[in-house]
């Protein structure tokens, strides 16, 4: 069994503020340690379930957060950026299951530290009329390779968001959102136990979970936080302006869809 782990930081127990998530945040290194240990718990659960290969993709911000020397020795780590497939770099049809650790809700929800890729740029992203956050968009990439996302850890609200895409997804709820920068967190040791147990159970039942897919073509509509951001991405030839804050495009390929979304966000962020 080959297992792929995409690891973010906002959904980690004890992470509640920009001081934890920003590269220059005074508490960032502490949050990196918490993130690394939650990933280790996921790796342990995968190994106990029979995984022979575990690949971890550091998927937050600079994508240089996990302490490599503290990571379980049986896992391989994709570290650094930019990456062509960003939070899903390295995924392929060779994997049997995908697990998301430390994930958060999409922008505009009530979830802790909610955003979609870049909280200073994007308000909503819809694919074929369905609003998706990072969980849904990344699961769609996994689905392209016919690999199911079987597990997610994070707050109580990302668990609900994940079920909207994959009803049978297994979860480890390590904190309860109170507001955008406040949460009721379980102890880090207990969080790791929940993740380890949840991962093992998810992988043992992986055949019961279907990959997340949508029918082509993929019509994407993106709403930005102000008109200047939409102005910037409208310059791209395939983009159609559909409103003061919105643009759309259509593609027949899931990976192209994902890469175009990421590219337009990078363009918009250059003028944000």
User: Catalytic positions, please?
Assistant: 115
User: Tokens representing 122?
Assistant: 């994007």
Angle at 30 between CA 87 and CA 139, to 5 degrees: 20
Instruction: Give the number of other Cβ atoms within 10 Å of residue 237's Cβ.
Output: 6
Write out the DSSP string of 158-225.
Answer: HHHHHHHH-TT-EEEEEEEEEETTEEEEPPHHHHHHHHHHHHHHHHHTGGGSPPP--PSSEEEEEEES
Determine the number of helices (DSSP H) and then strands (DSSP E) in the chain: 7, 12
In 3D, which of 49, 17, 40, 47 has the Cα closest to residue 30?
17
| Residue 175 CA to its chain's centroid (Å) | 17
Cβ-contact 139, 166 below 8 angstroms: yes
Q: How far is residue 184's CA from residue 108's CA, in Å, rounded to a whole number? A: 20
Q: Name beta bridge partners: 7.
A: 58, 101
User: Tokens representing 56?
Assistant: 């971890």
Q: How far is residue 4's CA from residue 6's CA, in Å, rounded to a whole number? A: 7
């Amino acid at each position: 069994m080959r297992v792929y782990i995409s690891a973010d930081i906002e959904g980690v127990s004890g992470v509640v503020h920009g001081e934890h998530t920003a590269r220059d945040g005074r508490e960032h290194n502490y949050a990196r340690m918490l993130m690394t240990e939650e990933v280790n718990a996921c790796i342990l659960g995968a190994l106990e379930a029979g995984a022979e290969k575990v690949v971890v993709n550091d998927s937050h911000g600079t994508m240089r957060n996990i302490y490599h020397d503290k990571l379980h020795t049986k896992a391989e780590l994709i570290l650094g950026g930019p990456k062509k497939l960003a939070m899903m770099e390295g995924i392929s049809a060779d994997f049997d299951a995908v697990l998301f650790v430390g994930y958060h809700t999409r922008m505009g929800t009530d979830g802790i530290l909610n955003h979609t890729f870049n909280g200073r740029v994007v308000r909503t992203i819809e694919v074929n009329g369905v609003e998706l956050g990072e969980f849904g968009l990344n699961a769609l990439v996994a689905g392209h390779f016919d690999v199911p996302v079987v597990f997610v850890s994070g707050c109580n609200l990302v668990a609900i968001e994940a079920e909207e895409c994959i009803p049978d997804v297994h979860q480890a709820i390590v904190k309860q959102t109170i507001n955008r920068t406040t949460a009721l967190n379980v102890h880090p040791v207990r969080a790791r136990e929940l993740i380890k147990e949840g991962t093992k159970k998810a992988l043992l039942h992986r055949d019961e979970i279907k990959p997340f897919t949508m029918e082509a073509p993929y019509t994407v509509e993106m709403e930005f936080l102000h008109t200047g951001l939409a102005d910037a991405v409208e310059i791209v030839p395939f983009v159609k302006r559909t409103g003061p804050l919105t643009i759309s495009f259509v593609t027949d390929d899931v990976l192209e869809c994902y890469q175009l979304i990421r590219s337009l966000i990078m363009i918009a962020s250059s003028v944000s």
